[in-house]
Each structure stands twice: as C-alpha cells, then as structure tokens.
Amino acid sequence: MLMPILQVNSEDIPEYAIVCGDPKRAAAIAAKLDEPRELAFSREYRSFVGTKDGVQIAVVSHGVGSPGAAVCFEELIRAGVKTLIRVGTAGSYSADHPAGSLIVSTAAVRTDGLTRQLVPETFPAVADSAVTEALYYAARQGEGAVSKGITVTLDVFFNGVEEFPHRKFKQAGALAVEMEISALYIIASLRGVRAGAIVAIDGYADADLAAEYDPHTTAVADAVHREMDAAIAAIVALAGQERA
Ligand SMILES: O=P(O)(O)O[C@H]1O[C@H](CO)[C@@H](O)[C@H]1O
Ligand SMILES: O=c1cc[nH]c(=O)[nH]1
C-alpha cells in the first residue's frame, strides 16, 4: 500500500524506524547502514531503508514541528513500524548539559498544539522503557556526556512577545527543549507501538536564538554522529532481545 504523504510502499517498510528532522541527517544515518536504499523524497520526508547486523531499519526525516512530524509517524505506523526512535537536536536548560552532550528523553512536556487535539491535556507523553534503556546503554558506549530525563516539546523556535516557558520547566526538572518528541510519544501510545528519543544539545534554550543559534559546530556534529550510532545500536539490541 502506498502511503499518500511519505510516498513509500508499506511493503518496503520494516518494523524498526529512525526518524529525524533534517532530510540530510536521514541520508547520513542511512549511510551508516548496510546496502542503504532511498525509497522516496516527498515534501520534507526523505525515506531510506537499510540493514545493520541483519536487522532492517527505515530512516525517515519528519521536518520541523509536531504537526508535520505527526504525519510522518502516523504513516510509518500504518506502514508497519512497531518501534520508532527520534534522533534530534535540542536546546539545553543548564550548563550541566552543554553543546555536544546527549540526552535520552524519558518523557516530554506537552507544550505543543498538536497533542492537545489528540488526547486530554492530563495524558502523559512517555517513552517506552525498553527503548529508553537500549538507547541510554548504547549512547554511553560512545565518548562524551550522556544523560536521561524529561524534555520539553514546544511549537515556538524564534520567540514573539510572549515569554518562553523555559524557567518554570527547568525548575520542575526538565533538561532541554525541542519540537517533536511529545507528538512521537503520544502517537506511539495511541497506536500501540513503542518509541524513544535521543537529542544532541546544540546550545542554550534561553539564548537569543535569532542571534546566537549555531547547530553547525564540530561539537554538535560529533554529538549528532554519536546519537546516530546509538540509535542504530539500540535497534540492533532491541531486535536481539525480541529474537531471544
Ligand atoms: O534537529 P531536529 O531533529 O530537526 O530537531 C530540532 O531542530 C529543529 C529546530 O531547529 C526542530 O525540529 C527541533 O526539534
Ligand atoms: O527546538 C530546538 C532545537 C534545538 N535547539 C533549540 O534551542 N531548540
């Protein structure tokens, strides 16, 4: 069956998928797989499939923001994906997590517009525990700092006249902010599949992003490569657990 927006055939989509915002990052992740094959490039959604240690993995970009990303997650699940891992970037809430460090997201604050139109506001956006543990273990095999904790999903990147909500979420224990994980966790829960996410810190959330945002430093690029490797290794480990 052809997925109308991703333009991929369900026959080509395996049970495991890595998703990320940037189509170029999707190509870089696919290049780490054996025999990668591009399936489609439709709108912001660039789709590949390849294998690692005999496990078939799809890699698909979802663009920026929860509504567009939700379309990607929904079509992948309809096509047969049972485990999704997001490999993203995020702004840090503290000097404990500087640019170049990694955070595995255990749950997401739902400061997005999409998920409140899917489930009640009291419903939590939580990662699958097995996926989270596999990601955290795999990430710690690489060099560099890795933490796990709550992340915030927000629709706003460049602020307007309203205050960002970062101060109160930091005080409550959140570690970083990005733009799609709550959608991933809520949709995974709704559709009965499992999901997890890892993000590379690319700066501080309370910086003036319009003036200072630079996700193209060597430290960030290295962290993105470490999180790509961690996601692939986590999927190979999860597939091994399922076979056992
Ligand atoms: O690096 P990605 O995966 O795109 O993630 C983050 O970067 C984008 C903002 O620049 C948003 O999509 C945010 O969630
Ligand atoms: O949403 C995002 C993503 C990366 N960095 C940020 O500061 N915010």
Nearest partner of 25 among 240, 236, 235, 221, judged by Cα: 221
- Which residues does 82 contact at the CB level (< 8 Å), separation at least 6? 15, 16, 193, 194
Extract the tokens encoding 233.
């290794």
From 93, 181, 209, mutation site for ligand 2 pocket: most ligand atoms within 8 A of C-beta:
209
For residue 185, what pLDDT is reported?
Answer: 99
Ligand 2 pocket test: pick from 155, 179, 206 the residue with the most ligand atoms within 8 Å of its Cβ. Answer: 179
- Distance between Cα 227 and ligand 1 center (Å): 14
ipTM comes to 0.98
Q: How far are the Cα atoms of 145, 206, 212 from residue 171, in angstroms, in the given order? A: 22, 14, 24
- Is the C-alpha dihedral spanning 192, 23, 140, 206 positive or negative? negative
Domains of the chain by range and CATH?
A: 10-243 (3.40.50.1580)
From atom 3 of ligand 2, which residue's Cα is the shortest distance away?
A: 90
Q: Quote the DSSP letter at residue 31.
A: T
pLDDT for the residue 53: 98
Of the candidates 85, 74, 71, the one whose C-alpha atom is nearest the C-alpha of residue 26 is 85
Catalytic status, residue 202: yes
Question: How high is the pLDDT of residue 93?
Answer: 97
Residue 200 sits at φ, ψ, to 5 deg, of: -95, 130
Write down the pLDDT at residue 72: 98
CA of 172 to the centre of ligand 1 (A): 23
Stretches where the chain sits below pLDDT 70 are none
At residue 62, the pLDDT reads 98
pLDDT value, residue 207 = 79
Tens of pLDDT, residues 16-48: 999 999 999 999 999 999 999 999 999 999 999
90 CA to centre of ligand 1 in angstroms: 7
Sign of CA dihedral 167, 217, 181, 155: positive
Q: What is the pLDDT of residue 209?
A: 79
* C-alpha span between 19 and 58 (Å, rounded): 8
| Torsion on CA atoms 188, 169, 22, 39, rounded to nearest 10 | 0
Q: How many angstroms separate the alpha carbon of residue 220 from the centre of ligand 2?
A: 12
**Whether residue 40 has its Cβ less than 6 Å from ligand 2:** no
